[in-house]
Amino acid sequence: MSVVDALAEALPADALITDPAILEGAQSDASGTGAVRPVALLRPSSVEQISTALKLCNAHGQAVVPQGGMSGLAGGANPRAGDIALSMARFAGVEEIDPVAETMTVRAGTVLQAAQQAAREAGFALPVDLGARGSCQIGGIIATNAGGVSVIRDGMTRDNLRGLEVVLADGTVLSNLGKVTKNNTGYDLRHLFAGTEGTLGIITRAVFRLRRLVGQQRTALCALDTYEDVIAFLAHARASLPGLAAFEAMWRDHFAFNQEKGGISLFADCPAYAVLIEAETKAAAGEDGFDRMLEAAWEKGLIRDALVAQSETEARRFWSVREGEAMSQGLPGLLSFDVSMPIGDMDAFATRCKETLGQAFPAVHVLAFGHIGDGNLHVCAGFEDGIADSISDRAEAIEETFYDLVRQFGGSISAEHGIGTLKRPWLGYSRSEAELATMRAIKSALDPNGILNPGKVL
Ligand SMILES: Cc1cc2nc3c(=O)[nH]c(=O)nc-3n(C[C@H](O)[C@H](O)[C@H](O)COP(=O)(O)OP(=O)(O)OC[C@H]3O[C@@H](n4cnc5c(N)ncnc54)[C@H](O)[C@@H]3O)c2cc1C
Protein backbone atom coordinates (compact mmCIF):
# COMPACT_ATOMS: atom_id res chain seq x y z
CA MET A 1 0.00 0.00 0.00
CA SER A 2 1.36 3.46 -0.85
CA VAL A 3 1.92 5.91 1.97
CA VAL A 4 -0.86 8.19 0.66
CA ASP A 5 -3.31 5.23 0.67
CA ALA A 6 -2.19 4.30 4.19
CA LEU A 7 -2.75 7.89 5.35
CA ALA A 8 -6.16 7.99 3.67
CA GLU A 9 -7.15 4.83 5.50
CA ALA A 10 -5.93 6.02 8.91
CA LEU A 11 -7.13 9.65 8.89
CA PRO A 12 -10.51 11.37 8.43
CA ALA A 13 -11.16 12.46 4.83
CA ASP A 14 -10.74 16.17 5.60
CA ALA A 15 -7.25 15.62 7.03
CA LEU A 16 -5.68 14.58 3.71
CA ILE A 17 -5.84 16.64 0.52
CA THR A 18 -4.70 15.41 -2.88
CA ASP A 19 -6.56 17.94 -5.06
CA PRO A 20 -3.84 19.49 -7.32
CA ALA A 21 -5.50 22.93 -7.21
CA ILE A 22 -5.13 23.05 -3.41
CA LEU A 23 -1.64 21.53 -3.50
CA GLU A 24 -0.64 24.41 -5.80
CA GLY A 25 -1.09 26.81 -2.86
CA ALA A 26 1.34 24.80 -0.70
CA GLN A 27 4.35 25.34 -2.97
CA SER A 28 6.12 28.32 -1.51
CA ASP A 29 6.66 30.45 1.55
CA ALA A 30 6.95 34.25 1.35
CA SER A 31 10.44 34.01 -0.15
CA GLY A 32 8.66 33.06 -3.40
CA THR A 33 11.33 30.46 -4.14
CA GLY A 34 9.25 27.26 -3.97
CA ALA A 35 8.06 25.79 -7.26
CA VAL A 36 7.19 22.18 -6.44
CA ARG A 37 3.78 20.84 -5.45
CA PRO A 38 3.75 18.38 -2.53
CA VAL A 39 2.33 14.93 -3.37
CA ALA A 40 -0.31 15.42 -0.67
CA LEU A 41 -1.25 17.93 2.01
CA LEU A 42 -1.99 16.76 5.55
CA ARG A 43 -4.37 19.03 7.46
CA PRO A 44 -4.69 17.40 10.88
CA SER A 45 -7.05 18.79 13.50
CA SER A 46 -5.65 16.98 16.53
CA VAL A 47 -2.33 15.90 18.07
CA GLU A 48 -3.43 12.27 17.69
CA GLN A 49 -3.87 12.73 13.92
CA ILE A 50 -0.39 14.31 13.67
CA SER A 51 1.10 11.41 15.63
CA THR A 52 -0.68 8.81 13.45
CA ALA A 53 0.42 10.55 10.24
CA LEU A 54 4.08 10.78 11.32
CA LYS A 55 4.15 7.14 12.47
CA LEU A 56 2.99 6.07 9.00
CA CYS A 57 5.31 8.43 7.13
CA ASN A 58 8.26 7.27 9.25
CA ALA A 59 7.47 3.61 8.53
CA HIS A 60 7.38 4.39 4.79
CA GLY A 61 10.48 6.65 4.88
CA GLN A 62 8.24 9.43 3.56
CA ALA A 63 9.57 13.02 3.81
CA VAL A 64 7.26 15.52 5.54
CA VAL A 65 7.57 19.30 5.33
CA PRO A 66 5.81 21.17 8.16
CA GLN A 67 3.97 24.33 7.10
CA GLY A 68 2.77 27.15 9.32
CA GLY A 69 1.63 30.50 7.97
CA MET A 70 4.10 30.33 5.02
CA SER A 71 5.46 33.78 5.86
CA GLY A 72 9.02 32.44 6.19
CA LEU A 73 11.74 34.11 4.16
CA ALA A 74 14.27 31.27 3.98
CA GLY A 75 12.44 28.64 1.90
CA GLY A 76 12.09 26.41 4.99
CA ALA A 77 8.47 25.42 4.33
CA ASN A 78 8.91 24.76 0.60
CA PRO A 79 8.32 21.14 -0.46
CA ARG A 80 10.84 19.24 -2.54
CA ALA A 81 9.71 16.74 -5.20
CA GLY A 82 7.99 13.80 -3.49
CA ASP A 83 7.42 15.53 -0.11
CA ILE A 84 4.15 15.48 1.79
CA ALA A 85 3.29 18.85 3.34
CA LEU A 86 1.76 19.04 6.83
CA SER A 87 -0.25 22.21 7.45
CA MET A 88 -0.99 23.19 11.03
CA ALA A 89 -3.80 25.60 10.10
CA ARG A 90 -6.62 23.38 11.44
CA PHE A 91 -5.02 22.88 14.83
CA ALA A 92 -5.57 26.44 16.05
CA GLY A 93 -6.93 28.33 19.05
CA VAL A 94 -5.99 29.66 22.46
CA GLU A 95 -6.65 26.91 25.01
CA GLU A 96 -6.11 28.87 28.21
CA ILE A 97 -4.99 32.21 29.60
CA ASP A 98 -3.93 31.84 33.23
CA PRO A 99 -4.03 35.35 34.79
CA VAL A 100 -2.29 34.17 37.96
CA ALA A 101 0.63 32.36 36.32
CA GLU A 102 0.49 35.02 33.55
CA THR A 103 0.71 32.44 30.78
CA MET A 104 -1.11 31.49 27.59
CA THR A 105 -1.48 27.90 26.36
CA VAL A 106 -1.98 27.98 22.62
CA ARG A 107 -2.14 25.59 19.67
CA ALA A 108 0.58 25.77 17.04
CA GLY A 109 -1.71 26.62 14.12
CA THR A 110 -2.97 29.82 15.77
CA VAL A 111 -2.15 32.96 13.80
CA LEU A 112 0.08 35.23 15.92
CA GLN A 113 -2.29 38.22 15.65
CA ALA A 114 -5.20 36.15 17.00
CA ALA A 115 -3.09 35.07 19.99
CA GLN A 116 -1.98 38.70 20.57
CA GLN A 117 -5.61 39.83 20.46
CA ALA A 118 -6.70 37.18 22.99
CA ALA A 119 -3.87 38.27 25.33
CA ARG A 120 -4.86 41.95 25.00
CA GLU A 121 -8.49 41.21 25.80
CA ALA A 122 -7.30 39.59 29.05
CA GLY A 123 -5.17 42.66 29.96
CA PHE A 124 -1.83 41.23 28.84
CA ALA A 125 0.56 41.39 25.90
CA LEU A 126 2.04 38.36 24.17
CA PRO A 127 5.71 39.38 24.09
CA VAL A 128 6.42 38.50 20.44
CA ASP A 129 5.57 40.79 17.52
CA LEU A 130 6.62 40.90 13.88
CA GLY A 131 5.48 42.40 10.59
CA ALA A 132 3.99 39.07 9.45
CA ARG A 133 1.72 38.89 12.53
CA GLY A 134 -1.42 38.52 10.36
CA SER A 135 -0.19 35.30 8.72
CA CYS A 136 2.59 33.65 10.74
CA GLN A 137 1.57 30.98 13.24
CA ILE A 138 2.64 30.16 16.78
CA GLY A 139 4.34 26.93 15.59
CA GLY A 140 6.16 28.83 12.84
CA ILE A 141 7.51 31.53 15.15
CA ILE A 142 8.81 28.87 17.54
CA ALA A 143 10.24 26.73 14.72
CA THR A 144 12.15 29.77 13.41
CA ASN A 145 12.76 31.34 16.86
CA ALA A 146 11.41 34.56 15.35
CA GLY A 147 12.75 37.89 16.51
CA GLY A 148 10.75 40.92 15.52
CA VAL A 149 10.30 44.46 16.67
CA SER A 150 10.41 44.21 20.48
CA VAL A 151 13.42 41.95 21.03
CA ILE A 152 15.36 44.55 23.05
CA ARG A 153 12.62 44.42 25.69
CA ASP A 154 11.10 40.96 25.31
CA GLY A 155 13.83 38.76 23.82
CA MET A 156 13.46 36.27 20.97
CA THR A 157 10.56 33.81 20.79
CA ARG A 158 12.45 31.14 22.76
CA ASP A 159 12.91 33.58 25.66
CA ASN A 160 9.14 33.70 26.13
CA LEU A 161 8.46 29.96 26.06
CA ARG A 162 7.42 28.26 29.29
CA GLY A 163 6.29 24.90 27.91
CA LEU A 164 6.19 23.03 24.63
CA GLU A 165 4.54 20.01 23.04
CA VAL A 166 6.14 18.35 20.03
CA VAL A 167 5.43 15.22 17.97
CA LEU A 168 8.63 13.40 17.05
CA ALA A 169 9.34 11.74 13.70
CA ASP A 170 8.17 8.31 14.95
CA GLY A 171 4.88 9.74 16.26
CA THR A 172 5.93 9.99 19.93
CA VAL A 173 4.18 12.91 21.65
CA LEU A 174 6.64 14.82 23.84
CA SER A 175 4.53 17.03 26.06
CA ASN A 176 5.64 19.43 28.76
CA LEU A 177 3.09 22.22 28.97
CA GLY A 178 4.29 23.46 32.36
CA LYS A 179 3.75 27.10 33.29
CA VAL A 180 6.63 27.59 35.71
CA THR A 181 9.70 29.75 35.18
CA LYS A 182 11.98 27.56 37.26
CA ASN A 183 12.34 23.94 36.19
CA ASN A 184 15.87 22.59 36.34
CA THR A 185 15.05 18.94 35.85
CA GLY A 186 17.62 17.87 33.35
CA TYR A 187 17.88 18.84 29.69
CA ASP A 188 15.60 21.70 28.70
CA LEU A 189 13.86 20.24 25.67
CA ARG A 190 11.95 23.46 24.85
CA HIS A 191 15.12 25.04 23.60
CA LEU A 192 16.09 21.97 21.62
CA PHE A 193 13.14 22.56 19.28
CA ALA A 194 13.02 26.37 19.08
CA GLY A 195 14.75 27.49 15.89
CA THR A 196 15.03 24.02 14.31
CA GLU A 197 12.73 24.87 11.36
CA GLY A 198 10.72 21.66 11.43
CA THR A 199 13.75 19.35 11.22
CA LEU A 200 13.43 17.75 14.68
CA GLY A 201 9.69 17.58 15.39
CA ILE A 202 6.26 19.05 14.74
CA ILE A 203 5.40 21.71 17.33
CA THR A 204 1.78 21.26 18.40
CA ARG A 205 1.21 23.38 21.51
CA ALA A 206 3.10 25.95 23.55
CA VAL A 207 2.87 27.83 26.82
CA PHE A 208 4.00 31.46 26.54
CA ARG A 209 4.69 33.87 29.35
CA LEU A 210 2.55 37.00 29.13
CA ARG A 211 3.46 40.57 30.00
CA ARG A 212 1.12 42.86 31.91
CA LEU A 213 0.00 45.94 29.97
CA VAL A 214 1.14 48.86 32.07
CA GLY A 215 0.69 52.02 30.07
CA GLN A 216 0.31 53.52 26.67
CA GLN A 217 2.35 52.92 23.52
CA ARG A 218 4.35 55.94 22.33
CA THR A 219 6.13 56.19 18.98
CA ALA A 220 8.57 58.79 17.63
CA LEU A 221 10.79 59.24 14.60
CA CYS A 222 14.07 61.03 15.23
CA ALA A 223 16.70 62.57 12.94
CA LEU A 224 20.38 62.07 13.85
CA ASP A 225 23.66 63.17 12.28
CA THR A 226 26.20 60.49 13.19
CA TYR A 227 26.35 56.79 14.11
CA GLU A 228 28.02 57.76 17.41
CA ASP A 229 24.85 59.76 18.16
CA VAL A 230 22.73 56.69 17.29
CA ILE A 231 24.64 54.57 19.83
CA ALA A 232 24.56 57.29 22.50
CA PHE A 233 20.83 57.83 21.88
CA LEU A 234 20.21 54.08 22.34
CA ALA A 235 22.02 54.14 25.69
CA HIS A 236 20.09 57.27 26.73
CA ALA A 237 16.70 55.81 25.71
CA ARG A 238 17.45 52.51 27.45
CA ALA A 239 18.43 54.26 30.67
CA SER A 240 15.37 56.56 30.60
CA LEU A 241 12.63 54.15 29.44
CA PRO A 242 12.32 50.70 31.03
CA GLY A 243 9.51 49.98 28.55
CA LEU A 244 11.64 50.69 25.46
CA ALA A 245 10.51 48.06 22.94
CA ALA A 246 11.80 49.16 19.53
CA PHE A 247 14.85 51.10 18.45
CA GLU A 248 14.96 50.88 14.66
CA ALA A 249 17.66 52.78 12.78
CA MET A 250 17.46 53.57 9.07
CA TRP A 251 20.55 54.60 7.14
CA ARG A 252 20.05 57.62 4.85
CA ASP A 253 19.60 55.63 1.60
CA HIS A 254 16.86 53.45 3.07
CA PHE A 255 15.01 56.39 4.59
CA ALA A 256 15.31 58.60 1.50
CA PHE A 257 14.28 55.84 -0.94
CA ASN A 258 11.20 54.78 1.03
CA GLN A 259 10.16 58.31 1.90
CA GLU A 260 10.34 59.40 -1.73
CA LYS A 261 8.94 56.28 -3.44
CA GLY A 262 6.29 55.86 -0.76
CA GLY A 263 5.13 59.44 -1.30
CA ILE A 264 5.56 60.18 2.41
CA SER A 265 7.05 63.43 3.62
CA LEU A 266 8.49 63.25 7.14
CA PHE A 267 11.79 65.14 7.32
CA ALA A 268 12.28 67.73 4.56
CA ASP A 269 16.05 67.59 5.10
CA CYS A 270 16.86 63.88 4.86
CA PRO A 271 18.90 62.88 7.96
CA ALA A 272 22.02 60.69 7.89
CA TYR A 273 20.20 58.33 10.28
CA ALA A 274 16.51 58.15 11.15
CA VAL A 275 15.58 56.27 14.32
CA LEU A 276 12.09 54.99 15.07
CA ILE A 277 11.56 54.34 18.75
CA GLU A 278 8.58 52.80 20.48
CA ALA A 279 7.99 52.39 24.20
CA GLU A 280 5.24 51.61 26.63
CA THR A 281 5.15 54.39 29.20
CA LYS A 282 3.13 55.24 32.28
CA ALA A 283 1.54 58.65 31.95
CA ALA A 284 1.68 59.87 35.56
CA ALA A 285 -0.18 63.10 36.44
CA GLY A 286 0.09 64.59 32.97
CA GLU A 287 3.81 63.84 32.70
CA ASP A 288 5.19 61.32 30.30
CA GLY A 289 8.73 59.94 30.53
CA PHE A 290 8.74 59.52 26.76
CA ASP A 291 8.56 63.26 26.04
CA ARG A 292 11.09 64.02 28.79
CA MET A 293 13.50 61.48 27.32
CA LEU A 294 13.23 63.11 23.87
CA GLU A 295 13.72 66.61 25.29
CA ALA A 296 16.83 65.51 27.19
CA ALA A 297 18.24 63.81 24.06
CA TRP A 298 17.72 67.04 22.11
CA GLU A 299 19.37 69.13 24.83
CA LYS A 300 22.38 66.77 24.82
CA GLY A 301 22.65 67.21 21.05
CA LEU A 302 22.00 63.51 20.31
CA ILE A 303 19.00 64.16 18.06
CA ARG A 304 18.39 67.18 15.89
CA ASP A 305 14.68 66.68 15.25
CA ALA A 306 11.86 64.41 16.44
CA LEU A 307 8.33 63.72 15.24
CA VAL A 308 6.08 62.26 17.92
CA ALA A 309 3.13 60.23 16.61
CA GLN A 310 -0.15 61.73 17.76
CA SER A 311 -2.25 58.78 16.60
CA GLU A 312 -1.95 55.14 15.63
CA THR A 313 -2.28 56.17 11.97
CA GLU A 314 0.72 58.45 12.28
CA ALA A 315 2.73 55.73 14.01
CA ARG A 316 1.82 53.41 11.10
CA ARG A 317 3.20 55.98 8.62
CA PHE A 318 6.54 55.95 10.44
CA TRP A 319 6.55 52.16 10.43
CA SER A 320 5.69 51.98 6.72
CA VAL A 321 8.92 53.83 5.89
CA ARG A 322 10.93 51.59 8.22
CA GLU A 323 9.27 48.43 6.83
CA GLY A 324 10.20 49.60 3.35
CA GLU A 325 6.78 49.09 1.81
CA ALA A 326 7.83 51.08 -1.27
CA MET A 327 10.99 49.03 -1.85
CA SER A 328 9.45 45.92 -3.36
CA GLN A 329 7.75 47.97 -6.09
CA GLY A 330 10.70 50.29 -6.68
CA LEU A 331 13.31 47.52 -6.79
CA PRO A 332 11.63 44.45 -8.32
CA GLY A 333 13.05 41.13 -7.13
CA LEU A 334 15.27 42.82 -4.55
CA LEU A 335 17.49 40.62 -2.38
CA SER A 336 16.88 40.92 1.31
CA PHE A 337 19.57 40.02 3.85
CA ASP A 338 19.15 39.49 7.59
CA VAL A 339 22.39 39.39 9.55
CA SER A 340 23.74 40.31 12.98
CA MET A 341 26.97 41.59 14.44
CA PRO A 342 28.16 43.67 17.40
CA ILE A 343 26.35 47.03 17.49
CA GLY A 344 29.62 48.97 17.28
CA ASP A 345 30.46 47.34 13.91
CA MET A 346 27.14 47.85 12.15
CA ASP A 347 27.86 51.23 10.60
CA ALA A 348 31.28 50.20 9.29
CA PHE A 349 29.68 47.07 7.83
CA ALA A 350 26.87 49.05 6.15
CA THR A 351 29.42 51.44 4.62
CA ARG A 352 31.69 48.60 3.39
CA CYS A 353 28.70 46.80 1.95
CA LYS A 354 27.58 49.83 -0.02
CA GLU A 355 31.11 50.44 -1.32
CA THR A 356 31.87 46.80 -2.20
CA LEU A 357 28.52 46.00 -3.82
CA GLY A 358 28.48 49.40 -5.55
CA GLN A 359 31.86 48.74 -7.16
CA ALA A 360 31.07 45.17 -8.19
CA PHE A 361 27.51 45.83 -9.37
CA PRO A 362 27.12 49.39 -10.73
CA ALA A 363 23.64 50.97 -10.28
CA VAL A 364 22.80 48.66 -7.38
CA HIS A 365 20.80 50.26 -4.56
CA VAL A 366 21.97 49.12 -1.13
CA LEU A 367 19.49 50.06 1.59
CA ALA A 368 20.09 49.28 5.26
CA PHE A 369 18.05 49.40 8.42
CA GLY A 370 18.41 47.57 11.68
CA HIS A 371 16.93 46.58 15.02
CA ILE A 372 20.01 48.30 16.38
CA GLY A 373 19.52 47.36 20.03
CA ASP A 374 19.98 43.67 19.24
CA GLY A 375 22.67 43.95 16.57
CA ASN A 376 20.35 42.88 13.76
CA LEU A 377 20.96 44.55 10.40
CA HIS A 378 18.73 44.13 7.34
CA VAL A 379 20.30 45.03 4.02
CA CYS A 380 18.36 45.12 0.75
CA ALA A 381 20.09 45.11 -2.63
CA GLY A 382 18.25 45.73 -5.87
CA PHE A 383 18.06 47.49 -9.19
CA GLU A 384 15.40 49.83 -10.44
CA ASP A 385 13.10 48.47 -13.11
CA GLY A 386 14.38 48.88 -16.65
CA ILE A 387 18.03 48.16 -15.84
CA ALA A 388 19.20 45.77 -18.55
CA ASP A 389 20.47 42.85 -16.43
CA SER A 390 17.86 41.39 -14.15
CA ILE A 391 18.75 40.82 -10.50
CA SER A 392 18.28 37.07 -10.84
CA ASP A 393 21.32 36.90 -13.13
CA ARG A 394 23.45 38.49 -10.46
CA ALA A 395 21.81 37.15 -7.28
CA GLU A 396 24.38 34.45 -6.59
CA ALA A 397 27.33 36.79 -7.08
CA ILE A 398 25.74 39.46 -4.87
CA GLU A 399 25.02 36.88 -2.15
CA GLU A 400 28.56 35.52 -2.34
CA THR A 401 30.04 39.02 -1.97
CA PHE A 402 27.66 39.96 0.82
CA TYR A 403 28.12 36.84 2.97
CA ASP A 404 31.87 37.01 2.52
CA LEU A 405 31.75 40.49 4.09
CA VAL A 406 29.62 39.15 6.96
CA ARG A 407 32.26 36.48 7.57
CA GLN A 408 35.01 39.11 7.57
CA PHE A 409 33.09 41.06 10.23
CA GLY A 410 32.54 37.90 12.31
CA GLY A 411 28.74 38.29 12.02
CA SER A 412 25.91 35.77 11.86
CA ILE A 413 24.47 35.03 8.39
CA SER A 414 20.96 34.77 9.86
CA ALA A 415 19.79 36.95 12.73
CA GLU A 416 16.14 35.95 12.78
CA HIS A 417 14.80 34.43 9.53
CA GLY A 418 16.54 31.06 9.89
CA ILE A 419 18.49 28.99 7.38
CA GLY A 420 15.87 27.04 5.38
CA THR A 421 17.34 26.25 1.99
CA LEU A 422 18.36 29.76 0.98
CA LYS A 423 21.14 30.24 3.53
CA ARG A 424 22.29 26.64 3.73
CA PRO A 425 25.33 27.21 1.48
CA TRP A 426 26.67 29.78 3.97
CA LEU A 427 25.88 28.08 7.28
CA GLY A 428 29.56 27.18 7.65
CA TYR A 429 30.43 30.91 7.68
CA SER A 430 28.75 31.26 11.09
CA ARG A 431 29.01 27.74 12.59
CA SER A 432 32.12 25.64 13.19
CA GLU A 433 32.56 22.05 11.93
CA ALA A 434 32.21 20.83 15.53
CA GLU A 435 28.89 22.66 15.92
CA LEU A 436 27.58 21.32 12.62
CA ALA A 437 28.60 17.76 13.57
CA THR A 438 26.75 18.11 16.90
CA MET A 439 23.63 19.36 15.09
CA ARG A 440 23.81 16.35 12.72
CA ALA A 441 24.16 13.97 15.69
CA ILE A 442 21.03 15.44 17.33
CA LYS A 443 19.15 15.22 14.04
CA SER A 444 20.00 11.56 13.50
CA ALA A 445 19.16 10.67 17.13
CA LEU A 446 15.67 12.18 16.91
CA ASP A 447 14.92 11.51 13.25
CA PRO A 448 17.02 8.51 12.21
CA ASN A 449 15.14 8.05 8.93
CA GLY A 450 15.53 11.73 8.05
CA ILE A 451 11.83 12.24 7.24
CA LEU A 452 11.40 15.67 8.87
CA ASN A 453 11.99 18.55 6.49
CA PRO A 454 15.00 17.01 4.75
CA GLY A 455 17.25 19.38 2.83
CA LYS A 456 16.60 22.24 5.25
CA VAL A 457 19.11 23.82 7.64
CA LEU A 458 21.76 21.05 7.54
C1 LIG B 1 6.32 41.07 6.07
C2 LIG B 1 7.18 40.10 6.84
C3 LIG B 1 7.81 40.53 8.00
C4 LIG B 1 8.60 39.65 8.73
N5 LIG B 1 9.21 40.10 9.86
C6 LIG B 1 9.95 39.26 10.60
C7 LIG B 1 10.60 39.72 11.80
O8 LIG B 1 10.53 40.89 12.15
N9 LIG B 1 11.29 38.82 12.50
C10 LIG B 1 11.40 37.52 12.13
O11 LIG B 1 12.05 36.74 12.83
N12 LIG B 1 10.82 37.06 11.00
C13 LIG B 1 10.11 37.90 10.22
N14 LIG B 1 9.51 37.45 9.07
C15 LIG B 1 9.71 36.04 8.66
C16 LIG B 1 8.58 35.08 9.11
O17 LIG B 1 7.39 35.78 9.36
C18 LIG B 1 8.99 34.29 10.35
O19 LIG B 1 10.07 33.46 10.04
C20 LIG B 1 7.85 33.45 10.97
O21 LIG B 1 8.29 32.99 12.23
C22 LIG B 1 7.43 32.26 10.12
O23 LIG B 1 6.25 31.71 10.66
P24 LIG B 1 5.22 30.90 9.75
O25 LIG B 1 4.15 30.35 10.62
O26 LIG B 1 4.80 31.69 8.60
O27 LIG B 1 6.16 29.68 9.30
P28 LIG B 1 6.39 29.04 7.87
O29 LIG B 1 6.91 30.04 6.92
O30 LIG B 1 5.19 28.28 7.45
O31 LIG B 1 7.56 28.00 8.23
C32 LIG B 1 8.80 28.45 8.69
C33 LIG B 1 9.63 27.23 9.13
O34 LIG B 1 9.07 26.66 10.30
C35 LIG B 1 8.66 25.31 10.08
N36 LIG B 1 7.39 25.14 10.80
C37 LIG B 1 6.26 25.89 10.67
N38 LIG B 1 5.33 25.47 11.55
C39 LIG B 1 5.88 24.44 12.25
C40 LIG B 1 5.42 23.59 13.30
N41 LIG B 1 4.20 23.70 13.85
N42 LIG B 1 6.27 22.64 13.77
C43 LIG B 1 7.52 22.50 13.25
N44 LIG B 1 7.99 23.25 12.26
C45 LIG B 1 7.18 24.22 11.77
C46 LIG B 1 8.57 25.16 8.56
O47 LIG B 1 8.83 23.82 8.17
C48 LIG B 1 9.66 26.11 8.09
O49 LIG B 1 10.92 25.47 8.16
C50 LIG B 1 8.75 38.31 8.29
C51 LIG B 1 8.12 37.87 7.13
C52 LIG B 1 7.34 38.76 6.40
C53 LIG B 1 6.66 38.25 5.16
Summarize pLDDT for 14-30 with one digit per residue, the tens: 999 999 999 999 999 99
137 vs 226: CA distance, rounded Å: 38
Query: Among the three residues 185, 212, 239, which one is the final residue of a domain in this structure?
Result: 212
Give the count of beta carbons closer than 10 Å to the beta carbon of residue 69.
25
- Confidence tier at 283 by pLDDT (50, 70, 90): low
Helix-strand-coil split of the chain, %, nearest 5: 35, 25, 40
pLDDT of residue 287: 57
Tell whether 174 and 235 lie within a shared domain. no
Query: Among the three residues 290, 322, 354, which one is the final residue of a domain in this structure?
Result: 322
Query: Among the three residues 188, 212, 236, which one is the final residue of a domain in this structure?
Result: 212
The 10s digit of each residue's pLDDT in 235-256 is: 999 999 988 999 999 999 999 9
Q: What is the pTM of this model?
A: 0.95
Domain of 225: which CATH number? Answer: 3.30.70.2190
Tell whether 135 and 187 lie within a shared domain. yes
Tell whether 234 and 300 lie within a shared domain. yes
Is residue 398 assigned to a domain?
Answer: yes
198 vs 141: CA distance, rounded Å: 11
Q: Classify residue 245 as exposed, middle or buried by CB count within 10 Å of its CB (0-12, 13-18, 19+).
A: buried
pLDDT of residue 285: 44
Tell whether 317 and 346 lie within a shared domain. no
Is residue 351 assigned to a domain?
Answer: yes
- Which range marks the domain in which residue 226 is found? 216-322
pLDDT of residue 125: 95
Give ligand 1 pocket residues (Cβ under 6 A).
29-30, 65-73, 76-77, 88, 108, 130-132, 135-137, 139-141, 143-144, 146-148, 197-198, 202-203, 416-417, 420, 453, 456
Residue 392 pLDDT more than 80? Answer: no
Nearest CA to ligand 1 atom 44: 198
**Ligand 1 center to residue 239 CA distance, Å?**
32
**Ligand 1 center to residue 139 CA distance, Å?**
8
**Ligand 1 center to residue 249 CA distance, Å?**
23
Find, among 159, 158, 190, 191, the residue nearest to 175 by Cα: 190
Domain count, the chain: 3
Is residue 289 assigned to a domain?
Answer: yes
Q: What atom in ligand 1 is closest to the CA of residue 130? A: 8
pLDDT of residue 326: 85
More confident residue, 281 or 351: 351
- Confidence tier at 284 by pLDDT (50, 70, 90): low
- For a substitution probing ligand 1, which of 41, 73, 84, 204 has the most ligand atoms within 8 Å of its CB? 73
Cβ-contact 92, 139 below 8 angstroms: no
Residue 204 pLDDT more than 90? Answer: yes
Region 336-347: mean pLDDT is: 95
Tell whether 313 and 224 lie within a shared domain. yes
**Ligand 1 center to residue 436 CA distance, Å?**
22
